Structures are given as structure tokens and as C-alpha cells.
Amino acid sequence: MQGTRTPTSSPSADAYTPTDRTVPTRSAERASYDRELVHSILDQGYVGHLGFVRDGAPVVLPTLYGRVGERLYVHGSTGSRPLRMTGQADPGLAVCLTVTHVDALVLARSAFHHSINYRSVVVHGIAHDVTDPEEKRAALDALVDHVVPGRAADSRPANKKELAATAVIRLDLDEVSAKLRTGGVNDDPEDLSLPYWAGLVPLRKGYGTPVADGDLSADVRLPDYLTVS
């Protein structure tokens, strides 16, 4: 519907189109559909929370994931429940994958205005089993590079047996939203003089000191991409 779009509610190459499911009922001003922002939130996360429905009830499991353009990939053993369910479902398994970063604690003078600064992405869609060998291999590279960028090229690639033991599912980035809280404390004006400390407590991020495996050959040095930040 490119011809009918208006500037105020335009889907574009740079943004996802809001849907009933991706417009929050509360704090809509914290929602964003910006593609670059969504990608950056996804790319900085280590673990996503994958939701699916089993016997009518919700199940939420933590999972590693990787992104290739507008596709997310989740992998696991061929025996794991959501991956097996995806392979058996036609046309696929309805899922919701959510990634959240907690950036800071927001301590207000009032209990009511306590909050956290966070960035989250919620992806709704249908997960499909990845059967194409090339797509599967690219997805596994993306999963390893997601943990540490550049790492896939600096490790032994999966062999045939490992590929056969691994199931990969794909979730297209289509029905997607980000939600964020940033900024400071929002206390009511009449509370500002209360004798309680108020402010932001940032949470620390980044790598601690790497611990080399005991069997590491003496001539293998710590790679630059693991330098403590």
C-alpha cells in the first residue's frame, strides 16, 4: 500500500509496520519500530526468551539466537521440544521471541516511581524448520558470531555429524517492536524534597577476565576480540 501511506503512520524500509500485537496498551511512547534500533538491541543480547504454546499453556525458555539480515535463527538439539514441535507443525510453530537488556536501576523517592531503564525487542511470528544445508550452516555461523563477533571464522566449523544432530529454526523479522525506558527519575514535584536518595544505578556490562581452558596449547594467545573492555 505504498501509494496510500501517510507520513504519520508510514511503514518504510527503515521501520517495521506496527500491528495490533506490537502496539502496547501502556506506555506507547516507549515503543519503537525503527529497524536499526531493533537490530542493535537484538545484536547486543546473549539470550532470548522463546515463547510457544504447548497443550494450550504458554512455555518460555531461554535460548541462544543469531541474526542474518531480517531473519532470526534459534538452534538446539533435534530432540529439544520447541525445535521438534516446529518440525512437526504445518506451516510452522507460532512463537514469540523477546530480548531484554537491563541498563540501569531507577531509584525514585517514591516506591511507586521505581523502575528500570531497559531496552527490549518482541518478535511475533511463525518459526520454520531450516532444512537447506547452506542456510543451516550460515545460521550456525551467525549463532556463534552472535556470542562473540568474528568467532565463527576462528573455530572449527561443524562437521556432518554435528550438523545432523543440530536443529535450526528460522523466525522472520516482520511483526516486531522495540520498547525502551531511558532517562532519569520521574518523581512527583511534591516528593522532591523527601530525604531519600534518588537517581540511576547503571549496571556493569562487558567481559571479565577470560579464563583459558587447562588443555590450551602454550602457543595459542588470547585473541584481540576478547580484550577486556
The length of the chain in residues reads: 229
DSSP letter assigned to residue 26: S
Q: Please, what is the minimum distance in Å from the beta carbon of residue 14 to a copy of itself? A: 25
Q: Of residues 14, 70, 150, 201, which one binds a copy of itself by CB under 8 A? A: 201
Contact in structure between 97 and 120 (CB atoms under 8 Å): no
Nearer to a copy of itself, 4 or 161 (CB): 161
Contact call for residue 208 and a copy of itself (CB under 8 A):
yes
Among residues 12, 19, 162, 164, which is the contact residue for a copy of itself, using CB under 8 A?
162
Q: Which long-range contacts (CB under 8 A, 24 or more apart) does 18-23 make?
A: 18/177, 19/124, 19/175, 21/124, 21/175, 22/122, 22/124, 22/175, 22/176, 22/177, 23/177
Nearest CB to a copy of itself, comparing residues 13 and 57: 57
Stretch near a copy of itself under the rule CB under 8 A, chosen from 8-16, 32-40, 128-136, 155-163:
155-163
Interatomic CA distance for residues 153 and 142, integer angstroms: 11
Per CB under 8 A, contacts with a copy of itself among 70-129 are 76-77, 79-81, 84, 94-98, 100, 102, 105, 107-112, 114, 116, 118, 120, 122, 124
Dihedrals phi, psi of 23, to nearest 5 degrees: -100, 115
